[in-house]
């Protein structure tokens, strides 16, 4: 029916973590992206979205995250016709300096500010929108804590 994909808008010190997807990837190879991946079939399970995202981040870039907050969801169809539901979470970087741990999935990692990603010419519109929304949630969360 469809694939459920989760992505993390990972924030640290005023910057967001992005990956350059591996050229080996079937979908969007070589493109700028958030870190994430597909949910696996588990039968009866709880917190599958959060656990999947934490696992994928650790596998792809060797980092751990905390304080996941829902940002948005969307759907799209891959070039090969697979229907995908994509859920984005705001995450705070906990520890582990990110690097291209899974070379089959990640060619490079980049830290960029909100302004840099919004001005980035090769940044897809949906990625810019995800960062706009995550940045708004982050600012609202910081405001509420004061």
* Percent of the chain residues past pLDDT 70, beyond the cut: 90
Domains in the chain, number: 1
Angstrom distance (rounded) from CA 145 to CA 75: 33
CATH of the domain at 69: 3.90.79.10
pTM of the model: 0.89
Q: Characterise 28 by phi-psi region: left (phi > 0), alpha (psi -120 to 50), beta (else).
A: left
Average pLDDT, the chain: 90
Q: What is the DSSP letter of 39?
A: P
SS3 call for 60? helix
Supply the range of the domain harboring residue 57.
Answer: 3-144
Report helix, strand or coil for 19: strand
Q: For 69-122, what is each residue's pLDDT tens digit?
A: 999 999 999 888 999 999 999 999 999 999 999 878 888 999 999 999 999 888
CB 3: neighbour CB atoms within 10 A?
14
Beta bridge partners of 108: 20
């Amino acid at each position: 029916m469809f694939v459920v994909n989760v992505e993390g808008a990972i924030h640290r010190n005023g910057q967001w973590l992005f990956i350059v997807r591996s050229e080996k990837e079937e979908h969007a190879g070589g493109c700028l992206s958030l870190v994430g991946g597909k949910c696996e079939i588990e039968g009866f399970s709880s917190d599958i979205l959060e656990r999947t995202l934490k696992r994928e981040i650790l596998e792809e870039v060797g980092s751990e995250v905390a304080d996941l907050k829902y940002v948005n969801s969307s759907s799209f169809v891959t070039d090969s016709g697979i229907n995908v539901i994509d859920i984005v979470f705001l995450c705070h970087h906990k520890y582990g300096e990110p690097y291209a741990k899974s070379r089959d999935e990640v060619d490079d990692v980049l830290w960029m500010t909100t302004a840099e990603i919004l001005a980035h010419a090769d940044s897809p519109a949906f990625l810019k929108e995800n960062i706009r929304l995550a940045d708004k949630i982050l600012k609202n969360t910081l405001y509420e804590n004061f």
